[in-house]
Amino acid sequence: MRVVLLTDVKGSGKKGDVVEVKDGYARNYLLPKGFARVVTDAIQRELAEQQARATAKESRERAKQQETCDALNGRTIEISAHVGEQGRLFGAVTHADVAEALLKLGFTVDKKRVDMDPIKHIGEHNARLHLYPGIDAEIVVHVVEK
């Protein structure tokens, strides 16, 4: 029997997959528990439409992130911090500080997407932004004395 899975089912497939299962397994387990529905022409058309919408949404998101990457790549952001002896910071410039500085410039980047070591000295430091799978931007973080 061909069914479409409504949830992830261990050993059968992931949500949205159309799988061929034994009739008894479908009738006695998948269908009564609400884990699957029998595939009909209407359901197949609905799945195709959902897949097309998901693909279009992904391509829009990818294009948006590529545009952000092009705007940020090679850009220098300036962050001021309290400095002690020999140019050493009292704290550290972290991912959150970089994300906040980018937000002030009009770019929304999650702090989890910033790849760098915590900065503990004034000067210029490189950071990488993972905006989307396969789309990374390199920026320079310039730390100055407050």
pLDDT of the residue at 84? 86
Domain range for 87 is: 67-145
CATH code for the domain of 98: 3.10.430.100
Nearest to 120 by CA among 78, 76, 74, 84: 84
Region 49-67: what's the mean pLDDT?
94
Rounded percentage of the chain residues whose pLDDT exceeds 90: 80
CA distance 72 to 80: 20
What are 126's two structure tokens?
A: 């490189």
Q: Is 53 exposed, middle or buried (0-12, 13-18, 19+ CB in 10 A)?
A: exposed
Residue 10 has pLDDT above 90, yes or no: yes
Residues 94, 141, single domain; the answer is yes
Are 8 and 45 found together in one domain? yes
- Domain with residue 47: its CATH number is 3.40.5.10
Check pLDDT > 90 for residue 7.
yes
Q: What's this model's pTM, rounded to 2 decimal places?
A: 0.71
- Number of domains, the chain: 2
Q: Are residues 88 and 134 in the same domain?
A: yes
107 and 140 fall within a common domain: yes
The position carrying tokens 């009738």 is 27
- Among 10, 43, 60, give the residue marking a domain's end: 60
53 lies in the same domain as 82: no
At 146, the pLDDT band (50, 70, 90 cuts) reads confident
Please report where in the chains the tokens 């991912």 appear, as a residue: 95
Statement to judge: residues 73 and 56 lie in one domain: no
Residue 85 confidence (pLDDT) above 90 = no
| Together in a domain, 42 and 105 | no
Given 60, 88, 109, the domain boundary residue is 60
* Same-domain status, 56 and 71: no
For 6, 8, 12, 59, 73, the CA distances from 15, given in Å and listed in that order, are 5, 5, 10, 21, 37
**Domain stop point among 17, 38, 60:** 60
50 and 78 housed in the same domain: no
Tell whether 89 and 117 lie within a shared domain.
yes
Residue 91, pLDDT score: 87
User: What pLDDT sits at residue 19?
Assistant: 94
